[in-house]
Structure formats: structure tokens, C-alpha cells
Structure 1
Amino acid sequence: MHQMNDLRRIDLNLLVILDALLSEQHVTRAAERLHLSQPAVSHALARLRDLLGDPLLVRGGAGLVPTPRALELMAPLAEALAQVQALLAPRGFDAATTQRRFRLAMSDYGAAIVLPGLIRTLRHEAPGIDLQISHGSSREGMLDAVLNGDVDVAVGVFPELPHELRSTPLFEEHYACLLDRDSLSLDGVLDLRSYLSRPHVLLEMRGSGTPEIERALTALRERRRVALSLPHWSVAPQLISGTDLILTVASRGLHDIDDHSLIIVPPPFQIPSFSFVLVWHTRRSGDQALNWLNERIVSASNQR
């Protein structure tokens, strides 16, 4: 009976506010995320502190810092809210009639791999679903966007995930080198000495695995000269033809290159492969439309 009385004191909205506060660690940002006033969120935090007998969030730096009790609550709270969302979600999701807009974060490379097949599927099976694509400035930025609810899912290379996020693998990727055919030696082999002596194009797409190349060279105590650094993929292959430049990138991005003056060869040193994954927040696990979209993203990624 005592437990039942405690449950009656807890408003489900308080748990939603607590989840936002623990994610944002800032009252104003939590209020903006929930479309509530700052005083309303502050009042809710005071009620939560009283109900749970813990400060939950204390002043620290530019925001609020979770207490040990709050850290214990984060994962089970997110899972509980996801279960409630699933319980209350409308049954019988129909892709053909659903009207939704989803926000996806991905690199230029990720878009090239995922979007062609995904868009064809949506236009055929779910014409009412619209997509808004954003280009994450970094892996951390894309994950923060998922945590904050600014995007629904992120696609990229994420070796480490916050415990509030879940992921599913899309494919395993490895590296290849693109260079002008006439600039390669007669035996068609790119050796390490030649690789290091030539200038390189660097794609600084932080969602596509680029740092792994530099780490592999550092392990060999070697460095390459970067003659050109680009933030996007689309123009890079056009810059290689007729030059001595080398482009080392994830191999799937080279599949559609139709230029006989270019050649694709393996790197002359070991670069670890990496997993390309789809990431979403646990609180969205009960969203049938998002689950459907995630399944289509997986299928589209395997079409390449």
C-alpha cells in the first residue's frame, strides 16, 4: 500500500522533465526542449528532489552536474519512458499513409551510401515520410544532436556511445587508395615509400572514419604530407586525375567512380577496418514509424 501511495504522488510528466534535465544538465535548455517555461521546469525539479530525497542536479561549471543517484537513474528512466511510449503508441502503423518528417545526421560519405536506396524505398512505400538531412561537424556533434533530440537518428562511425543511445551495424568498411593510373609504377603496386613521398588529399569528414588513417601512420612512426584538405567528398575524385595526389578513403565511396584515368589500389600499410552504424535514443525505441525507417536504412545500406 505504501508503494501505491508513492506512485500516486508521481506525475509521469515529472519523469519526462527529469529525463530532459539529466540529458541537458541545464534548466533553460531542458525547458526549451520540452517547450515549457524555465520556472515550470525549476518547480518540477524541486518536486523531484522532494519525491526522490536527493538533490539530483547540483551546480558545477556552466551548468548542472548529476549526483550519483541521478546517474543511477538515467538508464532505467530512459528505458521506462521508452516502454511507456511504446504502450501508448497507436497500433497498426501504416507506412503508406503515415505523414512524418524525420531528421537524420550523417556525413557526405554516409549520405552517398545510404540515401539513394532509402529515397527510392520511401517514394515507393511511404510517400508521406519526409527527410531532413544535416551534416554533423563531428562525431561528438552528431551524438549530441541525438541525445538532445535535435535529430532522430545519426549514421556514421561511433566507436563509443553514451549509455542512453543504441546502435545497429550497417556494414563493415575498409580503406582504399585512389590515384591517377599513369602515376602508378609499371608493376601496378603502391608501396609505402611511394605513398609517403607523394602529396595527399585529406577528407576531414569526421563521421566517416578519417582519423583512423592518421593513427595507423602514427603507429608506424610515419607521417604523410596533406596537400589539400576538404570538408566534403563530392569533388575529391575529380582532383586526382592528371596529378600525383593520393586519396585514401573508405572503399564504398569509390564504387561508382567511372573514370578510366583513375585506379583503386589497397593501402601499402594496415589500416583497421571500422563499423558504420545507425544510432538512436533509447527513448525512441517505441516509435513504430522510426523503427520502420531504421529497418529501411539498414536495407538501403546493404544495397551497395
Structure 2
Amino acid sequence: MTCRHAARKNGRKPLPKAGSDLASETTRIDLNLLLVFDMVMIERHVTRASIRLGLTQSAVSNALNRLRALFDDMLFVKAARGVEPTQRALVLWPEIHAALTQLQRSVRPGLFDPATSTIDFRISMVDLSAALLTPNLYRCIHEDAPGVSLSFVPHNPELTAERLVRGEVDFAISIEPPRMTVLEAIPLWSEGYVIAARKGHPMLDHPLSIDELCSLPQLHINLSGSPSSVSPVDAALQELGKSRPIKLVVNQFLVATTMLRESDLLAVLPMRLVADGFRQNWITFQPLPIALPEAALHLVWHKRNNGLQAMAWLKRKILDATTMLNADIKARIGG
């Protein structure tokens, strides 16, 4: 009795013949199934994946069932807001996603045409960046690509790298520079911090001393909401053995400017956020009494997108919009 016959008799799957069964497994893989797997990994939601693929939800569900049988794994489990990948899916996805991307480059080189494209780009950025950059960015894009759309994703600094790696967003605009070697970044702008308050605030009719800064009630912006997050100004004050009285913590820049206008709170903010309110004469500012590194904003993306014409085109449009914004900000503050 051969080993293969013995294995069948004992109920075990026989070992594959060298090369033959491996080739058989490869031919069982339907490229359309991998496209479904890739999109569900990106969206983490079956309905949203079906919409982006142009398929019915039942077709996507059937494809997932075939994938589960193919890989002998659940791949996705239901979660509160969609689905979560299993460990097996997380291991499979990077190479599958890279292979699909390379295949698209090979069979459709130079296919991206802004005038006819209907691609939906996704960018992660904070509300301040979106409010400042969107008017110029939309104009830059819509002039050349009327069918292209933009979707902004709420920005969480702690999740930025993971979202870029998983392909959930195409670009991120972040104060935090990338720490992963698979990510690249270029600076968009940098600027200093100021202490700001409503127009006519009695304490901002003169430059503040450090003691005054540490005695006046203030508003603080914590984008991630993490209790361990420490702002640059608080870190600098801690080195001096000092602290400031924080009376309100918000997670959005635009909420901060609204609260400044409606209260006597002060806030340490990037000059770019203050410029529009200063131009409209409802906010005032003074220089900080303590030296801080400038706040730098970076455009971040995954290296796998470097060969994609669509991504290179969007990057140029973001840089063009940034140039326009920088000129506008300089005009607003008279600098």
C-alpha cells in the first residue's frame, strides 16, 4: 500500500504531488474573488464594498463564501460597524493587494485620464486642514477632472499609518511625520504658534509673560482624545516646572475658534488657524512668551502608490492648492 493510499484510508488529506496540486490550487483562484477580498479589506464593510465594486451585496457575499472555502478560513467576522478581518486575512492581504496593484499597472499603463476619470480619492485630515485647503483643492481638481470626487476621512494621528497601509485612504495630511519605512512624506507648510483670544480680550492688549500664560483659563485641542497626549506648549512648560489652567478640551480646531469668539478663554494655536478670524476682525493674538518648534504639516502616502498616475496627479493638485493657500494666508496677515 502506498503512502497516498494509506493516507486516504486513515481519513487524512494526501500530500500533494510536487508541482501538480500546487498548479491546481492556483487555477482555482478567480481574480474577481481577489478583487472582492481586497475591497472588503479596504472598506471593512460588505455593503460599501459592493457599491464600490458595482456588484450586488449578495454577489459580494457569495464571493466571500467561495473565498472562505478556498482559504479554509472565515476571513471576516461581523462587527459593530461592518466586518473585521481574521488573522489569516490580515496575513493574506498585503501580498494580494500588492499583486492586484501591480497587475493593474501592467494591463492598464497610463490609463488615468483626468478629463474622463470618475475615481473617488480619500484623504485623511483634520477639520482645520480640510477647511483651509478644500476651496483651492476642489477648484484645482474640478477644472481638469469634473468626474473625480474627494472624500475626507476623520483624522486620528494614532491610526494614520494603519489606514494608509490598509489602503483605506490614499493620502493623509498630518502633523505627525511617518515612522513606517513603507510610507513617504513631503512638507506642505510650517508655521509658529500664537496665543489667541476674541477681539477685545482685556489680557491680549499686550504680549503675555510666562506667568500670565500660566494663570489665565485656556482651551486646549486634543485631536486623538488620548489622556496621555501632551501638546508642544505644555511639554515646554513642564520643562520649566510650570503648567497652564486648561478649562476646556476639544477635538476639533474649528470648535476651538468658535469657543474663543464666545468666551474669555485663550488658546495656543497655529498662526494659520488664527489668520482668517484675524482678517475678519473677531480674533486677536499675541506672540507666545516661550519658544516652540514650528508646527509642520506633512502630506503622507504609501510607497506602493508611487507608480500610479492617478496618485501622482492628485499629489500635484494638493501641492498646487497648498501654494495658493500659502499665498492667501500671507496676504491675510500682511506678511
Amino acid at match of 1:264: Q
Quick one: distance in 2 between partners of 1:242 and 1:38? 51
Aligned twin of 1:200: 218
Conserved? CA contact 1:241–1:262, under 8 Å:
no
Could you report, residue by residue, the CA deviation over 1:190-234 in whole angstroms, capped at 9, with x for unpaired residues? 322111111112234449xx8433444444443322233344333
Q: Would the aligned equivalents of 2:194 and 2:268 in 1 still touch at CA under 8 Å?
A: yes
Question: Match for residue 175 of structure 2?
Answer: 157
Distance 2:68 2:170 in 1: 26
The match for 1:52 is: none
Q: Which residue of 2 aligns with 1:228?
A: 248
Q: Secondary structure at the match of 1:155?
A: strand
Specify whether residues 164 and 89 from structure 1 end up closer, same or farther in structure 2 by C-alpha distance, changes over 3 A only: farther
CA 1:97–1:146: 2 relative to 1, 3 Å? same
What corresponds to 2:147 in structure 1? Answer: 128
Amino acid at match of 1:278: L
1:261 and 1:156, CA in 2 relative to 1: closer, same or farther beyond 3 A? Answer: closer
Conserved 8 A contact 1:82-1:285: no
Aligned identity (percent) is 27
Is the contact between residue 191 and residue 295 of structure 2 (CA under 8 Å) also seen in structure 1?
yes
Please state whether the residue corresponding to 1:289 is helix, strand or coil. Answer: helix
Give the superposition deviation at 1:80: 3.1
1:171 aligns with 2:189: yes
Q: Deviations over 1:56-87 (max 9, x none)?
A: 9799xx966537x975x665544333222222
In structure 2, C-alpha distance between the alignment counterparts of 1:274 and 1:152, rounded to whole Å = 23
Distance 1:5 1:112, change over 3 A: same
2:156 to 104, 125, 138: 138
TM-score, normalization: structure 2?
0.64
**Structure 2 CA distance, aligned partners of 1:242 and 1:8?**
66
Provide the rounded CA distance (Å) in 2 between the counterparts of 1:128 and 1:161. Answer: 34
Whether 1:246 and 2:269 are equivalent positions in the alignment is no
Deviates most, 10-19 or 287-296: 10-19
Indicate the residue corresponding to 1:268 in structure 2. 290
Q: Structure 2 vs 1, CA of residues 65 and 152 (structure 1 numbering), >3 Å: closer, same or farther? A: same
Other structure's SS at 1:234 match: helix
> Given the superposition, is the C-alpha separation of residues 23 and 33 from structure 1 closer, same or farther in structure 2, using an over 3 Å criterion?
same
Give me the whole-angstrom Cα distance separating, in 2, the residues matched to 1:233 and 1:173. 16
Q: Which residue in 2 is equivalent to 1:289?
A: 310
Alignment of structure 1 residues 1-304 onto 2, 5 Å: 5=23, 11-13=30-32, 15-16=34-35, 29=45, 33=49, 37-38=60-61, 40-48=63-71, 66=87, 71=91, 75-89=94-108, 91=110, 93-134=112-153, 136=154, 138-140=156-158, 146=164, 151-160=169-178, 166-179=184-197, 182-184=202-204, 186=206, 188=207, 190-206=208-224, 211-213=230-232, 214-234=234-254, 236-237=256-257, 239-240=259-260, 245-256=265-276, 257-258=278-279, 259=281, 262-270=284-292, 272-280=293-301, 287-303=308-324, 304=326
SS in 2 for 1:80: helix
Query: What is aligned with 2:53?
Result: none
Q: CA deviation at 1:253?
A: 1.8
Residues 215 and 88 from structure 1, CA distance in 2 versus in 1: closer, same or farther, beyond 3 angstroms?
farther
Give the RMSD, CA atoms, in angstroms.
4.4
Change (3 A) 1:44 1:281: farther
AA matched with 1:294: K
Q: Name structure 2 gaps, 5 residues minimum.
A: 1-17, 51-56, 327-335
Deviation at 1:22, TM superposition (A): 7.2
Gaps of 5+ in 1: 50-54
User: In structure 1, the residue corresponding to 2:231 is in which secondary structure?
Assistant: helix
How far apart are the structure 1 equivalents of 2:49 and 2:307? 20
Paired residues of 2:194 and 2:285 also in contact (CA < 8 A): no
- In the alignment, residue 126 of structure 2 is paired with which amino acid? S
In structure 1, C-alpha distance between the alignment counterparts of 2:41 and 2:118, rounded to whole Å: 31
- Please give the alpha-carbon distance, in whole angstroms, between the structure 1 residues aligned to 2:144 and 2:242: 50
Deviation, 1:292, is 1.1
Normalized against structure 1, the TM-score is what?
0.69
1:95-137: CA deviations, max 9, x gaps? Answer: 2343344333321111133212212212333333233334x16
